[in-house]
Structure 1
Amino acid sequence: MTENIKKPKDVSIAKAKGRPMLTWVGKKPLARVRAYPAQAIERFDATAGGAVALQEADWSDWPKDVPKGGLLYHGDNKDVLAHLLANGFRGKVKLIYIDPPFDSGADYVRKVQLRGAKGTVKIDGEDYTLGEQVQYSDIWANDNYLQFMYERLLMLRELLSDEGALYLHCDWNRSHQLRMVLDEVFSAEFCRNEIIWKRTSARSDSKFYNHIHDVILFYSKGNAPTFNEQFTPYEKAYLDKYFGMKDADGRRFASKDATQAGLRNGATGTPWRGFNPASKGNHWKVVPTELDRLDQEGRIYWPEKEGGWPRLKQYLDETKGRAIQSIWDDVMPVNSQADEREEYPTQKPVTLLERLIRSSTNPGDIVLDCFIGSGTTAAVAQQLNRRWIGCDINKGAIQTTAKRLQELMRAQASTAGMPQQGDLIGTSEPTQQPCQLGFATYRVNDYDLQIQHNEAVELACQYLGVTRTRTDSFFEGTQGGRLVKIVPFNHPLTPLDLEAVRNELKTRPTEERDVMLVCLGWQHDARAWVDSYNRNRPVNKLHVVELRTDRKLGGIIKHEPLSAQVSAQRVGEGADAQLVVELQDVVSPTIMQRLNLEQGVFRAQITDWRAVVDCILIDTQFDGQVFNVTLADVPERKQDLVNGRYELPAPPAGSTVAVKIIDMLGEELVVTTAI
């Protein structure tokens, strides 16, 4: 996609012009932002290169250097949004839905269940607590959170088309402040709705009124946003009350007043069949000649009582239903038994995204979600024949989304060109052909390296018994009454790191606790620095823990990667030759480590290696850079296991076969074999 972009470049961002303005410490506009190139890491084509009927979407607005199809990005969304702006998507997006961190203090932890029969042990997956993610490492402080959201909203506005809409999903903790930020970025006049979603019926965890709703703030970029009014069926009680009458042919109808308030001098103010609307201070809703026509068609209801005013018939079978209002109590959350559940902590229901996407886009439009999470926005957009772009900072989110989209696209490809029986996301109406049946996954700004460091930090905290502090932007937490600072593991402890700690302590004159410094290696001059600093110091002493050599706490940082026994061989000759790929064993030390930690003295045992494997992907002609998915073994249910043995058409001699194994915690291993 962007292989021809060699260097990052700056992207200009327009100033916010709205009022009022919310002020916070450190607030600054985002005039320019650095745009990094993206590296393609995986491609998926559900058609296997074949010709499949697709919706005739207008791709003329799609940047010419970007392959047509879904786009999934792994990286900090600030980097990703800058990349999109620099590569032709400015003003092209019709709908943006974001479900950013609420800053509510909640832990976002994915629960992982190993594959196999019911009752298989469950473990905590990758920790999604915001303070432990690189992009969220310091946003718990009020001002940092607001600046974080301000910058991203400024960039999102640049990506929106003039007819576009943005929906920001939040809760009561931040909705008031985020609305003011949105007023500044988009202008208050473009605030279209504050939608209240009743996400649960009851709670009992508060001594005051329990919060059972979320807020969705709906803003447009211009005066005429795309909006398709949506309707819900009438409730039975409403139908019985208002549509209780029937014609001779059994058609149910409601009677509506044929007049409306206000006097008129024209035809609608004149008497009709002895009834003068002016006597009630009203006028007819339509001219008398139209009333004659409606009466001839049987669409005027004449009350049986003498002198009863004529009324208009509204037939039930011609009624779309109740127009959706700003309070939504008919969208159920994703519960533990839902078919769509992806074991993702902040997953939103399909019906919620379906309503938003149907309302503010038309088939073929571009939908963007830069906090993609479990991939619901992309999945619904795909099913509703929209083009989509998604990104997330978390690798587990990217893996979950990719797997979900692969399943959906394969199902769509299998029925392409056939009469549609309904869709795959729970809606009742038939669907058209999708816009695309393939997507590409990209990485922006080498984000895997940052995630690996972050995982190492979490592992260190877990072993050292560090209590994480969500509100401290400098220290990671506390342990045994001491503050804990973890030095980045990509370099040894240096005097510069130590100076940073001393300067931070100077800003906290009342802080008397000692500091534990955790590092991987330290320079010789750093030892002398610590000795000099600690000499004759009653408080704030520094205690260094070098994780590989410390006599008490050392030796804990040693990550054993995923390993596997995989064979790939050619069977047969000529056109009938087959490629046989077989996995004999997969070992996930990380999963075993988590199981042993959580099960205490009972050492965990896994009798079938397939229990630890989430999915297996195969590229029969791997080029060493981009993984093109030829086969994807993604079990539909958690109790199902991967196959482990696969037969495919043999690629040309000399090809490199790559097998990607993803375990239940999201760790990946690629095994290559030349055949």
Structure 2
Amino acid sequence: MKSLLDQLPAIVADGKKEAERVMERAESNYRLGLQTRELVVPSKDSKWQDLFREKRGIAGDVNLDEGSALIYGDNLLAMAALIAGGSRNETLRNKIDFIYIDPPFDSKADYRTKIVLPDSEIEQNPSILEQFAYSDTWADGTASYLQMITPRLSLMRELLSDVGSIYIHIDRSVGPYVKVIADEIFGRYNFENEIIWRRTTSRGGSEYYNHVHDNILFYTKNGCGIWNQQYTPYTDGYIDGMFRKVDDRGRRYRESPLTAPGRRDGDSGRPWKGVDPNQMGKGRHWAVPGFLRHLISAEAQCSVQRSLDELEVQGRIVWAKDGAGRPNVVQYVDDLPGVELQSMWTDIGLEAGPEYDTRKPERLIERLIVSSTNADSIVADFFVGSGTTAAVAERLGRRWIASDLGKPACMITRKRLIDQDAKPFLYQHIGDYQVEQLRSTMGAKFRIGDLAEIVLGLYGALPLPIEENPNKNMGRLQGSKTLVLADSPNKMTGLATLRRAIEIRDNLMGGWDKVVILGWNFSPMIGHDIEALGQGDRLEVLVIPPDLLDRLKKKGHKLKADEVRFASLQYLKLGAVTRKQGAKDESLSVEIANYVLLSPEALNLDEANRDKLQKVVNADPLALIEYWSVDPDYDGEVFRSVWQDYRGNTDNDGDPYRVGRTARLDGLPKKDGARRVCVRVVDVFGFEAEATAEVA
């Protein structure tokens, strides 16, 4: 077994190649895109009327290319889509000024989710998709983790602007190895500092010193990142001890060296005014203090020697009288509002919000963002967690991009942003996710028909004769007159598919008693379309497990039919939808009547938790709704969520475990003709459903 040190060169080389393949696809005709699932215009139910008056018309005015975005999906694919851009999205390559990541680094972490329902608590294991991602990350311990992080760091460098910075939050177990990889990707000389963050003042239980800190690696893309120096307040004792000299105007000052430890290439390592920086101490380089940057012209900012020339002209450099010819910099007390922030942070401790239970304090992220961004900067976080980076960036007025593989993380982040009345933002998914997974799992030459054949086999269907089944996507259940049709992963199973399946059922090979459709992606209206067709037991639609491609990648042909569960669809039923028009505006009332959950047996629950869930399903199915929103004028393309309610929002009904059942929207712009109202719900497990109503 090779040591990690022996494996590192191959890990870095393979990770860079994977990133290069992603870049090649981004520059080719095939581009992985982002699908906008929702344009969120935050206005919690009880605040609807006031906020709508402030934001009247904003849902139609938002530029989809320039807004902040919350992206659900594998961050490798999310970054590929951001780099590729496309007809509906600008490329963000070389445009992001700040990236903060806090990737999971505990291989023994418990990713189970506790879901509190009105009369019980359910413990859900991670979704199968998340399980595979986490197990891949730690399959071979730290080596697997490094294989995961390397291509992602490479893509992050591509996204960074020329003045961009990245902060990598890590712990002691993987930190040294990540540092070596990051040095290779970003350049050893672009490593600016390591921040030691003291999370807590004390703890017990450790045999060899108690561990109370995390590490944050700080790199710039080109050694010249945006920098806004931060300070901690002076104390009287500090001023008396450090600023002992007084000039002829009575200003207190001190003289400080113009060098810093470490040899550097470039002009910071070359002699200036005949003085080699190594004369100031072995292994040093010229370093301009940050507090004097405002005195240096923009043209000289990225040249140390030109900066020194300008400072000397302004009288800020003095030459020591010790005969050694050492240049020093003059610093006055009032040059700075306090002590320049150092690399060890002991003034920010852990915080736990009432709902988000975040372990990364907002003050910590705020300090990083303020230090390394300007007002027009784009901020990104590709392991969003509880949404702290997005929430802080929003509060600071920065545009942000946040991504996570975990549906719970995205749900929490969306609610958190609505809670703080964020500006409108996009909620997006990875477009053609299964197709991309298919390419990486089966290879570019693998045909969709071959996958359909595998899906049919896992369902237990025998393929139809090839002359009747050239696409290999139809089969039959042995001993019955049931036809099975496997839909394509690059299609949306909707009304057209249902009608085609009924036609095939009635006419192919003399006709069949029943047709079963196995689908990957579904039209949000699929439940209503099935009901409207009135086929009863002769038409059934089932969900292909979203993790199937990952499981095939791991097990291949060893995957057995009894290991795969095909689930029934979830769907939403609306109650009364009423509309009243006044002289200048109109109002809308929308009720949700029922919610039918995806087959409980398909959820990743043990038997005890499944029994608890079934009791809730039987007694109060609407208690399973985590979040619901309304678009009062749906155009069929972009869902504009301008009213939201969710569990935990007690402004309206006072019940933290239930959502309200009626949306009331007053002050809507008056509209002639019918209004198409669309409602979307997300349940506590992250499944989504949609229903629309035409209101005259």
CA shift for structure 1 position 562: 5.8
Contact 2:120 / 2:612 at 8 angstroms: preserved in 1?
A: no
User: Unaligned 5+ residue runs, structure 1?
Assistant: 1-19, 55-63, 246-253, 263-276, 288-311, 411-436, 452-472, 474-486, 496-519, 525-541, 549-553
Aligned residue in 1 for 2:663 = 646
1:627-666 Cα shifts (integer Å, max 9, x gaps)? 2112112444683743322222375533321111223332
The one-letter amino acid paired with 1:44 is V
User: Unaligned 5+ residue runs, structure 2?
Assistant: 1-5, 27-31, 43-50, 86-90, 242-249, 259-319, 442-451, 461-474, 480-556
Contact 1:130 / 1:137 at 8 angstroms: preserved in 2?
A: no
The one-letter amino acid paired with 1:334 is E
Distance 2:153 2:421 in 1: 31
Listed as ranges, the matches of 1:127-138 within 5 Å are 127=126, 132-134=131-133, 137=136
CA shift for structure 1 position 545: 6.3
The one-letter amino acid paired with 1:123 is I
2:38 to 20, 35, 42: 42
Shift of the 620–100 alpha-carbon distance from structure 1 to 2, 3 Å rule, reads same
Residue 580 of structure 1 pairs with residue 565 of structure 2: no
> What SS is found at the alignment partner of 2:394?
helix
**What percentage of residue pairs aligned between the two structures are identical?**
30
Aligned residue in 1 for 2:149 = 149
Aligned residue in 2 for 1:661 = 681
Shift of the 173–488 alpha-carbon distance from structure 1 to 2, 3 Å rule, reads farther
Contact 1:596 / 1:604 at 8 angstroms: preserved in 2?
A: no
CA shift for structure 1 position 168: 0.8
1:357 to 365, 369, 378: 369
Alignment RMSD: 4.8
Shift of the 96–105 alpha-carbon distance from structure 1 to 2, 3 Å rule, reads same
Listed as ranges, the matches of 1:378-397 within 5 Å are 378-397=390-409
CA shift for structure 1 position 26: 8.5
Aligned residue in 2 for 1:628 = 640
1:147-179 Cα shifts (integer Å, max 9, x gaps)? 321111111111111111011111111111110
CA shift for structure 1 position 281: 11
Aligned residue in 1 for 2:356 = 342
CA shift for structure 1 position 600: 7.4
Contact 1:168 / 1:218 at 8 angstroms: preserved in 2?
A: yes
Which has a greater percent of helix?
2
CA shift for structure 1 position 670: 1.4
Contact 1:131 / 1:139 at 8 angstroms: preserved in 2?
A: no
> What SS is found at the alignment partner of 2:9?
coil
CA shift for structure 1 position 585: 4.6
Distance 1:343 1:450 in 2: 34
The one-letter amino acid paired with 1:100 is P
CA shift for structure 1 position 112: 3.0
> What SS is found at the alignment partner of 1:24?
helix
1:322 to 331, 334, 339: 339
CA shift for structure 1 position 324: 2.1
> What SS is found at the alignment partner of 2:105?
coil
Contact 1:364 / 1:386 at 8 angstroms: preserved in 2?
A: yes
Residue 107 of structure 1 pairs with residue 110 of structure 2: yes
Paired residue total = 479
2:457 to 488, 492, 509: 492
> What SS is found at the alignment partner of 1:137?
helix
Aligned residue in 1 for 2:69 = 71
1:53-91 Cα shifts (integer Å, max 9, x gaps)? 99xxxxxxxxx9952211222222112212222222221
Distance 2:189 2:93 in 1: 22
Return the TM-score normalized by structure 1.
Answer: 0.60
Shift of the 490–355 alpha-carbon distance from structure 1 to 2, 3 Å rule, reads farther
Aligned residue in 2 for 1:501 = none
Contact 2:122 / 2:612 at 8 angstroms: preserved in 1?
A: no
The one-letter amino acid paired with 1:83 is A
Contact 2:624 / 2:684 at 8 angstroms: preserved in 1?
A: yes
The one-letter amino acid paired with 2:40 is F
Residue 440 of structure 1 pairs with residue 429 of structure 2: no
Shift of the 94–577 alpha-carbon distance from structure 1 to 2, 3 Å rule, reads closer
Distance 1:494 1:146 in 2: 37
Contact 1:227 / 1:359 at 8 angstroms: preserved in 2?
A: yes
> What SS is found at the alignment partner of 2:211?
coil
Distance 1:212 1:572 in 2: 61
Residue 92 of structure 1 pairs with residue 95 of structure 2: yes
Shift of the 670–279 alpha-carbon distance from structure 1 to 2, 3 Å rule, reads closer
Distance 2:257 2:458 in 1: 80
Contact 1:135 / 1:393 at 8 angstroms: preserved in 2?
A: no
The one-letter amino acid paired with 2:394 is Q
Contact 2:567 / 2:598 at 8 angstroms: preserved in 1?
A: no
Shift of the 557–130 alpha-carbon distance from structure 1 to 2, 3 Å rule, reads closer
CA shift for structure 1 position 213: 2.0
Distance 1:53 1:283 in 2: 64
Distance 2:639 2:197 in 1: 40
CA shift for structure 1 position 132: 0.6
The one-letter amino acid paired with 1:654 is A
Contact 2:12 / 2:150 at 8 angstroms: preserved in 1?
A: no
Distance 2:133 2:453 in 1: 12
Residue 331 of structure 1 pairs with residue 330 of structure 2: no
Shift of the 407–131 alpha-carbon distance from structure 1 to 2, 3 Å rule, reads closer
Aligned residue in 1 for 2:186 = 186
Distance 2:168 2:368 in 1: 11
Shift of the 572–358 alpha-carbon distance from structure 1 to 2, 3 Å rule, reads closer
Shift of the 491–156 alpha-carbon distance from structure 1 to 2, 3 Å rule, reads farther
Return the TM-score normalized by structure 2.
Answer: 0.58
Distance 1:400 1:590 in 2: 24
Distance 2:257 2:222 in 1: 33
Distance 1:400 1:334 in 2: 17
